[in-house]
Structure 1
Amino acid sequence: MSTRRYRSAIACQTCRVRKVRCSVSMTGVPCISCEQDQTECILKPRQGKRHSSHNHRETTTVFPTSRHYVESSATRDTANQSNANPSSPDSSPGGEIVPLQVSQAPLDTPETKVSTASSEPSAADEEQLGVEMVEVALGHPRRECQVPYYIGEQTGGPTSTMHICTTDHLIPKHLLMPAAKQTILTEDEKTFLRSKGVYSFLSETASDSLIRAYFHNVHPIMPILEADKLLEYHRSKRLKEYNLILLWGLYTISSNYVPAEIYENEGFTSRKAFKAEMFARAVCVYNNGGEKNNLILLQGALLLGFWNSDIEDHMQPWQWSGRAINLCHVLGLHRDIDAIGYNTSISERQRSLFRRLWWTCFWRDRWLSVSLGRPLRINLDESDTPDPLVSDIAVDLEGIPESVTSAFFPRDLPRLAEYWIQLIQMTKLLGKTLMTCYQLRRPKPTINQIDTLEAELMRFNMPEHPDPMLSRLATFYYHHLQLHYQLVLVPVVLFSLYDWLTDGSRAILITFYRPCSVEAPSDLPSYRQREWQQEMQGKAMSAASKTCNIVYALAQGNFFSFAGPMTPTLLVPAMQVYLLNCKFGDALSRRLGLNMLNMCMMILEELQKTYSVASVCRGIFGKAIQQLFPDDAASISLTHSLPEQDVTPVAELMPPPTSIPDTPLQLELFGANVTKADFIDALTAEASIFSFVDMLNFTS
């Protein structure tokens, strides 16, 4: 009996003639072979059985050779219009806008229903991926290549085979691959996205304000989007065709900075409600839109990484940051594109974008590690990506008309780009500090290592006062950079800082990192410990004092409208230093410490109108202050954080000194059997602002 194998129950005419496997049953038309060869994909329905008494007329369906695969993560519903009458987003004078060159495909809405389940790739498709990888590596691609791909290190994996295929040249590790087919959503899937508001676009007035807010308040310190492409979609009134993950993600982070009338005109009663809705739409399309472009997913994760609303969501930034870092490693952004020679397949524009994305992920990793008390996830010993350049921010601004740049970008953008470079360099030093002094398994650092770290920080030649010619926005970013600087400085100068208590019970560490950090440098002689510790204590208090001076200047100048999601946590190290000083200092130190804490609590009260993390920090410190100093709680503005207490807030920013009796303070926070040492252990348990939560539940 014959064991003849049939190629496929359904095949196009070309594949039947060639007697090759056809993918039309899995991918639809055109099939992979016809698409690669740029030929018409003609599908003939199979005829009925030969013994049929009816002769059916043969019908042939011809499909076009080209198919549009959109960049967006979902097919747009063009019937959904904006819920407000749009007005022109161009608020600046100028003539007609010159169109920018963009590569995004036009929007097409398929007439037929195609289930995502039916788009599962066949074995032929998967084999074709491997073939294309080798073809691209050898420099002979058959299709247009535009998606970055990283083949990885030569550790014996399948991609290492590419290096065996050629002997005349080295194969770069970064390639551009043909774009994958975009998932076509079913009507049910589109209905679900529509029900979640993904296709309910904002008015042009709101979009204009949100995009301007992004370029003023986000892009200077997190330049992750291609500015010219975004602006071209906006200026040509085609934002509905822009990638929806990026659009809703941009709206989420920009909602922190727009005037109240913007979200009120969109039907929202509060900024937090508006931001929550933008975030919900972004997450919905991120998880359900079928996006396959890893660059888009990386950019979206970074935009969504500033969301937190309550105690359950306060770890959302850590989770989104992890996604972004993983995608960076998948794309190979941690490696130098030109490590083995200039890679001609990657443009200078792409190089700049890749550097911006990688160093933004690095920046988020280090500061989230400090804020949330989590381990570092990026190891710079495994990375050789070049440092970012000031020109990286400007590379995608070329060709944008002057009228557009003046309308959407701050006039101090070159100075802000310099601040961004300084922030990245400062972040690298923060990473060195964490790895040298506070990792779980590490040798004790020497006094020379600590002095070297401190010397590196001191080499930052930052002017003590901002340039008076700077705009208000640039002045805020100057102070914001100074806050980062003081936060980096405190962990360096506070490592193994001991403050011997008057009763001589034990030494304490004034910092907020791991308890294993309570140690002296390995080569510090015992007779020098007291002198060195007092010197470091003075530097710690100086850093805390400078932090409060910066915060006071921001409050006096009414700069907190520019504050970002990370601003509240920058106050925490100084507040912890002052709280410790209140606990174990003399009467004058306690009075001064309470005054400084009161000022910081007022600042957090202002910031909590926009940022939930400010409310969390304020509640933590408020509860600690209330229980440590019940007789003096009235001097601290705690009304919102502690509603159960009859506390009257103080109206003035810097209240007069409060009379505090110089008597031994009871550790009511922990119980009768807890010592001062227990208090310090709890305070320094983790490198996290949330370590105070453990203090409140501590039992001996």
Structure 2
Amino acid sequence: MGFRVSEAVRRGCVHKRAPKACQSCRTRKVRCDVTRTGETCTNCRLDNKLCVVPISKRRHVGDRVLGSSFVTSTHHPQSPICDAIIDFGDIQKSPQETRGSGAKTLATATPVNDTAFNIFDLGIGDFLASGGSNFVEQEQLNNLLVDESDMLERMTRSYPSPSQTLCSEQHPLPSLPSYIAALPDHIPADDVWYLQNRDCLTIPDAESRDRLLRAYATWVHPFTPMLDLVGIIKAVSGDMTCGPVSLLVFQSMMLAAAPFCDLDMGTKDRKKSRRILYERCNILHNFGIESDHLSILQSAILMSFWDGDDGQIRDSYYWIGIATLHANGMGLYLDPTIGPSDEHRQKVLKRTWWSLLIRDRLLAVALRRPVQTKAFRFDVPMLQIEDFELDTLLEAVGYNLPIDEFNLENLEIVASCCMAVAQLSEYIDKILSLQYSIQKTLGPQSHSNKTVSLVPKTTGIKWANISSCGQELQNWYGYLPEEVQQLEHAPEQSSGSEGNMANVHRALLASYYSMTMMTLYRPLLSLSVHKTEEKRIRNMAIKMVFQAAQSITGSFGGLYTNDLLLYLPETATAAIEPAIVTHLLYSTSDAARIRNHSFQGFYLCWNMLLQLGQIYFLADTTAMMINAAAQKLKAHSTIKRALPTQSTDLTELVDALCTPNALSFTSRIAVPFVGVVGEQRKDEIPVQWVHDPCTQIEVIRPAHELEFGMAVGDTRIGGSSDADFFEQLVCWDMGD
């Protein structure tokens, strides 16, 4: 119980404002104790005045508590917290009850401070007024005869905030499809509404969703086979045996599949559609709706398919870094077969690790950045055909999401291609460590922001190691199964659309191999050599780079002819760039035949780059660098003779130099080889480089040194800033 009045005065406590005052005390602005005496206040009694208490004009909470709306309510209270303040000055007792209670009533019913009175000590009888009171009507009093404990439970129930009250009464929280896992409980309602307003909880309609899932299964999953695609497809179809799908993972799947199909998202631009899907994934990631490390890792790998645009920090390289952090945190580099996990999860972990390595190595070449998944030792075994679970995948897709190209033969081919790319990623890491060093360079948008990039080594070149690595790489490709190698026949010779998926991934594998060979040998082109062995390796490098450019042009050229180029990922730009630079290099040859042949290859690669630029920002950036390099080449005398006027745009430049039938450019699709691929299999290798009239030795080894002298600052070129772009393209940032 609280202090009595005398104790409060003796201890010097500050009196609170009286809850009620009579008219006389209100006018005189003195303290009134009418609520304590219950009848006439002390001031009016001493002054022999009539004590009149006016009716309060405020809407008291007590009226609402005693009203029928409170008693008959069947739902929890949804009013602001101020509704819990009850003014008991409105409760008038009868004179008989007041006189009978005496001083005890005054002491217990009149609070001196907040802790001196407990409203829940009052029973229902304390609220009932005499028959002469007009506080409530008789029918309202009948409604008050309810269980006292029920009223106590209602009054002690926590009150939500006004914003929560308004949202929950008028608009229920947004719901997700049954196959999507519910949001965690720790996400506040305000955040849920924010996610809803930003369309982060929006799932594409059934038709668009199925198209995206088909595109994901056909063009994304083969080289990134980390997800449990069988469980996801079953969940979407209503079979919840494997549980619901993570919202973050599902939205990331939509993002990764967006480049391969047209979406009706209010814009006809695929870049804008991809940006909308990326913003959803980015916001979901920032809000931390996912607590499972594996789901966050997988979604980060899928978000690396967003190549970003100018000035954005969160690009593909950023998300691979996020995925690497989670992979190291959960020990994904350890052998998954040694542990308590079931066999299915072990395969998922194994595929996830290799998917991360593949994306990391390919992006390192495409962006010229160091690899991030640099585990000094990892125990994860190499992928095997059993790890892909093709039988269950084929059954799930065929029953729930029919795809024409999904048959066991095609699935085995693309799975074999994926295993080959995983092995190739190991060679890429080895080559980048052998031929390139890490250096800080200025960012494209700022003179102060520096980024870490890879530049070719200029000193300490280990020629023997380079030769050995190149021969080992050729041996590796020669031992691959024939069904995954790029054979002499072109993709356009395949009839129907049944082989499109296999042809695209086979062409990707061959182009990635040629890209790796160019990554190994291109830094040697601008080096000056004196020793005989070094000259031999340099001459071999010249031939390998030329053959690799021809192979990439032929592989992707067949896809371009059959309208399959848009099914390539953004990492295909990393293969087209060195090919188009090599063609641009040989377009400066003094021999007209060589020059025309190179311009035809350049024209085809340029059109492919422009087409990929409709989807990927990375292709746009590469096209701008090529354009800057071509402007520098206009100063060459050969191009001056060929050009009727000095064009300022690269498209006009190639149109002026190439005939309308330049798209009929033919080149060997065979991958680059020098000599034999292992003496023991000399007669078994199905792919050999065949010379044609346009690829004689004088093309591979030009008589003049202009092509590679340009990279080291030839005096005939000049010293303008445009040369820097060309140097970066020819010898990979050699001029920096």
Partner of 1:352: 347
After superposition, what is the alpha-carbon deviation per residue over 1:201-228, rounded to whole angstroms, capped at 9, x for unaligned?
Answer: 3211100111111001100111122112
Partner of 1:404: 400
Separation in 1, partners of 2:193, 2:599: 56
Separation in 2, partners of 1:379, 1:614: 27
Unaligned runs of 5+ residues in structure 1 are 1-47, 64-75, 83-101, 109-181, 498-507, 509-517
Instruction: Answer yes or no: is the 8 Å Cα contact 1:251–1:278 preserved in 2.
Output: yes
Matched, 1:385 2:366: no
Partner of 1:580: 585
Give the AA of the match of 1:403: Y
Partner of 2:121: 55
Separation in 2, partners of 1:554, 1:54: 80
SS in 2 for 1:439: strand
TM-score for the superposition, normalised by structure 2: 0.60
Separation in 1, partners of 2:219, 2:175: 30
Separation in 2, partners of 1:649, 1:613: 26
Matched, 1:464 2:492: no
Partner of 1:371: 366
Instruction: Answer yes or no: is the 8 Å Cα contact 2:297–2:327 preserved in 1.
Output: yes
Matched, 1:244 2:240: no
Partner of 1:301: 300
Instruction: Answer yes or no: is the 8 Å Cα contact 1:494–1:536 preserved in 2.
Output: yes
Distance 1:621 1:268, change over 3 A: same
Instruction: Answer yes or no: is the 8 Å Cα contact 1:454–1:489 preserved in 2.
Output: yes
Give the AA of the match of 1:304: M
Deviation at 1:446, TM superposition (A): 4.0
Partner of 1:490: 518
Structural mapping, 1:192-211, within 5 Å: 192-211=194-213
Deviation at 1:625, TM superposition (A): 0.9
Deviation at 1:580, TM superposition (A): 3.0
Pick aligned residue for 2:465 from 449, 474, 490: 449
Give the AA of the match of 1:451: S
Give the AA of the match of 1:189: D
Separation in 1, partners of 2:552, 2:273: 32
SS in 2 for 1:400: helix
Separation in 2, partners of 1:639, 1:309: 28
Give the AA of the match of 1:228: V
Give the AA of the match of 1:244: L
Deviation at 1:308, TM superposition (A): 2.7
Distance 1:636 1:80, change over 3 A: farther
Separation in 1, partners of 2:225, 2:634: 45
Structural mapping, 1:270-289, within 5 Å: 270-289=269-288
Distance 1:250 1:337, change over 3 A: closer
Structural mapping, 1:560-579, within 5 Å: 560-579=565-584
Unaligned runs of 5+ residues in structure 2 are 1-113, 123-147, 158-170, 440-456, 479-484, 666-693, 695-703
Structural mapping, 1:81-96, within 5 Å: none
Identity across matched positions, percent: 17
Larger RCO: Structure 1 or Structure 2 (Cα < 8 Å, ≥ 6 residues apart)?
A: 1
Give the AA of the match of 1:55: D
Q: Which segment drifts farther, 591-600 or 351-360? A: 591-600
Distance 1:613 1:585, change over 3 A: farther
**How many corresponding residue pairs?**
506
Partner of 2:602: 597
After superposition, what is the alpha-carbon deviation per residue over 1:619-640, rounded to whole angstroms, capped at 9, x for unaligned?
Answer: 2212321332166696999998
Deviation at 1:605, TM superposition (A): 1.8
Partner of 2:71: none
Instruction: Answer yes or no: is the 8 Å Cα contact 2:582–2:730 preserved in 1.
Output: no
Partner of 2:257: 254
Deviation at 1:366, TM superposition (A): 1.2
Matched, 1:481 2:509: yes
Instruction: Answer yes or no: is the 8 Å Cα contact 1:212–1:408 preserved in 2.
Output: no
Partner of 2:430: 432
Separation in 2, partners of 1:430, 1:228: 31
Instruction: Answer yes or no: is the 8 Å Cα contact 1:637–1:650 preserved in 2.
Output: no
Partner of 1:185: 187
Separation in 2, partners of 1:447, 1:663: 21
Deviation at 1:301, TM superposition (A): 0.8
Give the AA of the match of 1:488: T
Instruction: Answer yes or no: is the 8 Å Cα contact 1:619–1:642 preserved in 2.
Output: no
Distance 1:647 1:350, change over 3 A: same
Q: Which segment drifts farther, 616-625 or 204-213? A: 616-625
Distance 1:640 1:673, change over 3 A: closer
Instruction: Answer yes or no: is the 8 Å Cα contact 2:335–2:379 preserved in 1.
Output: yes
After superposition, what is the alpha-carbon deviation per residue over 1:556-591, rounded to whole angstroms, capped at 9, x for unaligned?
Answer: 333213222222221111122233334576555444
Q: Which segment drifts farther, 556-565 or 598-607? A: 556-565
Give the AA of the match of 2:212: L
Q: Which has the higher helix share?
A: 2
Partner of 1:223: 225
